[in-house]
Structure 1
Amino acid sequence: MSAAGVEGWNFATRQVHAGVEPEGTHHPRATPVYLTAGFVFDDFDQASARFAGTDDGHAYTRVSNPTHAALERRIAALEGGSGATFLGSGQAAVSTALLALAATGDHIVAASSLYEGSRELLRENFARLGIDVTFVARTRDLEAWEAAITPRTKALFAETIPNPKNDLLDIAGVADIAHRAGVPLVVDNTLASPYLLRPIEHGADIVVHSASKFLSGHGTVLGGLVVDGGSFEWARDPARYPHLAVERGIDGRTLLERAGQGAYLEYVRTLAMRFGPAASPLNAFLILQGIETLSLRVQRQSDSALALARWLERQPEVESVDYSGLDSSPHRDLARRYLPRGQGSVFGFTVRGGRPAAEATVNSLELFTRMTHLGDVRSLVLHPGSTTHVLRTEDDRLASGIDPGLLRLSIGVEDPEDLIRDLAQALAVGRAAMVQAAGTR
């Protein structure tokens, strides 16, 4: 069923039915897995038409696949976008979405508070390609966003719920600044998922996801998605995006003339096809299966996260809790505005006693899994300072709020009472380690 066919249905219905379109003469209830590298052409002319783009059938899975297409239609329907492209990982989605906008000599403005992989992609890898990036340290400072934009800027980039500090983005405010400058706002909506937040409704132009997280939900696959809101005016300033609005193909037309509002996503797909971050149709199938229970999982995870954050805030071993659902959070107003259903299930808290206490706490947890992942049905724990942010200098970590005692939690679907009991016994061990460390100084 197409995205247009489910516009009037509620989210829980759309997450099950959106994107389902029968293929061929058989009508299986579950979306089939088209586990094939290529597709047979009926004849010489059909092969030519598919390569020329005048036939919308499938030719090669690196370019398109029916299982991929079902997932793309479903996520576009859930996010309120005009279309989507499925890629091999969330990092592939981020890099492809931005490389479809910027080239050598161009500039991107990004929030400083990002998933570390995205931050290093921009800081190191994009720099090697000649793309400059300015990081905005105070995400809520709209004037800082505006001041960072230059005539070479091609996009603004941020996360809806930043990892791991929960310092929320004012989507509408930043989108207004981007649009006044004539550039799109690209947002990573992985930690919120379209169930909690649909950024396009607040002015964002392009949404990316690591589908490996909440969309899949079970920690079994990798995948990424780029969703186009379909409303950005690429023709407003043709010289800013010449590959879309100026450069002409062999048919004498620009990509905008050929694809209209779908020009950006068409370029994303072409870029992905050439760079090759292709995804497996089996992964698309498993992500589709995960999305069918997205609202059920995310609502429970968010409710449990709020309960744990409130409990942690009352514990003497805990110095601070970074969760926008708490009344003490400096981002509580943005949470009420953008996340009324729930504030997500990934957050950080800082234990007293620094790294020794954090290490003892992590090693004593029995129900939480120690691993680098998010959005799993199982609850996870990680020490950012010694893992995801280990390559930063100590001063840089501290400036970003990554204290030695900071722990990141991703809350699963277990009973919150059991999770609290596990945290309580681990914090007691951490407190003992803190006392012991203090006594040896």
Structure 2
Amino acid sequence: MSKRKMKNAHLPVGECIIQVQKIFRERLCHQQLPDRLEGVEAQHKHVLELLKRTAVHGESNSVLIVGPRGAGKTMLLKCVLRDLQEEKEVQQNLLQVHLNGLLQTDDRIALKEITRQLHLENVVGDKVFGSFAENLAFLLEALKKGDRSSSRPVLFVLDEFDLFAHHKNQTLLYNLFDISQSAQAPIAVVGLTCRLDVLELLEKRVKSRFSHRQIHLLSNPTFPQYLERVRTQLTLPDDFPDDGFAQDWNASVKTLCEDKSVEDVLQRHFNSSKDFRSMHMLLMLCLSRVSAAKPAIKPADLLEASRLCFADAVANMLHGLSILELCLIIAMKHLNDVYEGEPFNFQMVHNEFKKFLQRKSNSMYNFDPPVIMKAFEHLQQLELIRPVDSAAAKTQREYQLMRLMLDHSQIMEALQKYPQCPTDVKQWAMSAFG
């Protein structure tokens, strides 16, 4: 009874907003697992059955989950592992090793990580092994239970699987697939990759030991599905402590998703990326604008969040430059226009800047050459300009050939938004003669 009263209690708006932000941070940032996966039920069932056969019956398997970024490969596997752990026999039995091709960049590092995750550092000690295969076989042998000769099943998850194919001789992949095929120990190898041609990367001997099972996830939602996903992601759950607030919030979300301007913004995002993670970023930016004074998401919030998502990061960097640095960028722009994109050096930029100063009686732009050089080097640190080749480092600084990494439109857009940009600098940028 008390719980019912608590649920229907009217909390202060500020308290409700804190709860709202907590729920959505968990949902959107921590990629909270859904209770039930939609659209990939067949793939979920397939992977679950494969891993269950390894965990419960000691049958070795190998499989690749293939799909574009953001298609839900990792979420699918996490949901399978969550459902698998509900079985008591699996909880006590299955060991997991998670490797990532971006982190374990060679087989030696991978083997070290396998040893660490299986807690076998003390068992290995200072032993010296003749080969990688010998070392891996020793690790799996060490997992055998004391009461019977059967080894504990191990699940190897290889994220960014295609990067492991670039390791020397593909030793790790060869040995894992060899063990899974020869039933030396019960292991399951699950690879996650974006590469549709991943099998072409495998050596013949590795390919012959792989089961050739591939599960494809092709994320291709329609716009109405995308819109519905936005609505469900912003909807408060039934167990929200304040019923009245939750009903008002959910009604406002429904109205928001039916707004034409909102639909146009979401259509633009949908056209640029169907990846749900970029949608989550957009929604988090909207939620950051919600407060006790404004306890709902308005169309204007979504428009502003969209503007931030599509903002040009390089153009934004220009807003933080000093006037001197901005003048050097304009000088480079004029050199690019005159010499049709040919490389330039500091001396050329300095001369272009001096031509601008000579036309101005104003002394506010008079800087010493070392100060100008320092500003030029800062632009290089920001990677707004870069040397044409690495050999340039041997050339005297003033004569190193550089390229401008900005195009005309980025510079002009940044100038429009530059806080209190002097009129003569703007006019110089727009003039054709430099």
Structure whose alpha-carbon radius of gyration is higher: 2
Which has the larger share of strand?
1
Q: Same fold (TM over 0.5)?
A: no
Q: What is the TM-score normalised by the length of structure 1?
A: 0.24
Which structure has more RCO (C-alpha within 8 Å, separation ≥ 6)?
A: 2
Which has the larger share of helix?
2
Q: What is the TM-score normalised by the length of structure 2?
A: 0.25
